[in-house]
Structure 1
Amino acid sequence: MKQYAKTFAEKAHAGQKRKSSDAPYISHPIRVAERLEENGFTDEVVCAGYLHDVVEDTPYEMKDIKCEFGERVAKLVAAHTEDKSKSWQERKQHTIDTITYAQKEIKYLIVADKLDNLLEMERDLKLQGDAAWDKFSAGFEKQKWYNQSIATNMYVGLDPNDAPDYFGEFEEAVERVFGAG
């Protein structure tokens, strides 16, 4: 099932590039899924890692994910899919609200995604300086608010023993990119 999810995502994102580079878009979902797999999460969570941006950024719909991968994978993807008809602020607030109250598998997926995005942002900042912010819908202050809010709320309701190591890696990246508090 994981290989099929990877292939499906590769097909769905064919021709797409990352916002900040000429890298194929699929490199991001692959890294997210690999991080989830390295941490020993279920096949459903790993599949959701490959598929997490398909509904948001391609012509595929949630019903396609459900039909191809089942109810569980579809629910994980749905929990992490932004409604692009809403403003940046509304979409990001929804993600913060979701991570605050979500079951742990959804938290794992969201943080793996946000960590990969933040590490890429950090690389871009080292290469391009502040010009890297120009590629985003929201600048430094809004990105700081969003990422710090994710870091603060990802632990809510989560047993500390259930937090994977990359949660700490995300916190460290938030501090490196945005500074403390």
Structure 2
Amino acid sequence: MDIKPDTFNNARIFRAISFAAIAHDGSYKDGRPFICHPFGVAHLLQSIDSSEDLIIAGYLHDVIESTMYKLEDIKYEFGDNVAELVDYVTEDKSMNENEDEWKQRKIRAIKKVENGPLEAALLRWADKTHTLVNILDDYKSKNNSEFLDYGNAWNKFFAKKERQLWYYSKISELVNHRFNGTEYAKLAEYFDALIQKLESKLNSNNN
């Protein structure tokens, strides 16, 4: 589905881009400037003709987890609906956790999206799809010393591959259930294809 040109001629979306860029300024995620990830998520949401609020939530979805800003700041700047969407995909990662505590947090987060609006599931799909794409892209450069120094997406994933595969399988269950019978069913198929490709890379890496 093509992105509509008028998506970019929108003052609220420009404000969201500016807000996210300032919030994540100086931060890095998987060896890249942090802002690359919310830009990628928003781009995916634009490409499926999402609502304005959902695209804005794509730019802002990591702000509460990863910066000093609060949900009230997003609500004040962009309204209740955007803030609610961001809240659906926000987790409290401030505590030190053992393996079981981490897994229970992930289960709670998935159930939160499961019980939310369809747009919350689309936001989570875009978030994790972009991460999977980055993991697979970084696999191509896994022997590049620059990427190794920064701890890229592939290396972070491979270090804890069993639990990460468990988590992405749960996200797959979520999107397949929420998108079944909707116009978004093929998005779940695309997500599953990325997981299969990732598993193939893992198998070849172990050989």
| % identity of equivalent residues | 34
**Quick one: which of 114, 117, 122 aligns to 1:108?**
122
Runs of 4+ aligned residues of structure 1 deviating over 4 Å after TM superposition are: 129-134
Question: Residue deviations 1:12-60, cap 9 Å, x none?
Answer: 0001112x21x21101101101110111111000000000000100000
Is 1:175 matched with 2:175? no
Question: Contact between 1:13 and 1:25, CA under 8 Å: does it hold in 2?
Answer: yes
TM superposition score normalised by structure 2: 0.77
Is 1:8 matched with 2:19? yes
Amino acid at match of 2:137: R
TM superposition score normalised by structure 1: 0.88
Is 1:119 matched with 2:140? no
Distance across 1 between alignment mates of 2:63 and 2:128: 16
| Farther-moved stretch of structure 1 (77-86 vs 60-69) | 77-86
Q: Aligned Cα RMSD in Å?
A: 2.2
Aligned residues: 177
Alpha-carbon shift at residue 89 of structure 1 (Å) = 2.2
Listed as ranges, the matches of 1:1-181 within 5 Å are: 1-18=12-29, 20-21=30-31, 23-86=32-95, 87=97, 88-128=102-142, 134-135=155-156, 139-163=160-184, 165-178=186-199
Question: Contact between 2:176 and 2:185, CA under 8 Å: does it hold in 1?
Answer: no
Alpha-carbon shift at residue 164 of structure 1 (Å) = 5.6
Structure 2 unaligned residues grouped into runs of 5+: 1-11, 201-207
Q: Structure 1 residues 90, 113: closer, same or farther in 2, change over 3 A?
A: same
Distance across 2 between alignment mates of 1:45 and 1:7: 16
Amino acid at match of 1:77: V
Alpha-carbon shift at residue 99 of structure 1 (Å) = 3.4
Alpha-carbon shift at residue 126 of structure 1 (Å) = 2.7
Decide which structure has the larger Cα Rg and report it.
2
Distance across 2 between alignment mates of 1:78 and 1:50: 13
Q: Structure 1 residues 153, 52: closer, same or farther in 2, change over 3 A?
A: same
Distance across 2 between alignment mates of 1:159 and 1:177: 23
Higher relative contact order (CA 8 A, sep 6+): 1
Q: Structure 1 residues 138, 98: closer, same or farther in 2, change over 3 A?
A: farther
Amino acid at match of 1:68: E
Distance across 2 between alignment mates of 1:119 and 1:159: 23
Distance across 2 between alignment mates of 1:116 and 1:64: 25
Alpha-carbon shift at residue 159 of structure 1 (Å) = 4.5
Structure 1 unaligned residues grouped into runs of 5+: none
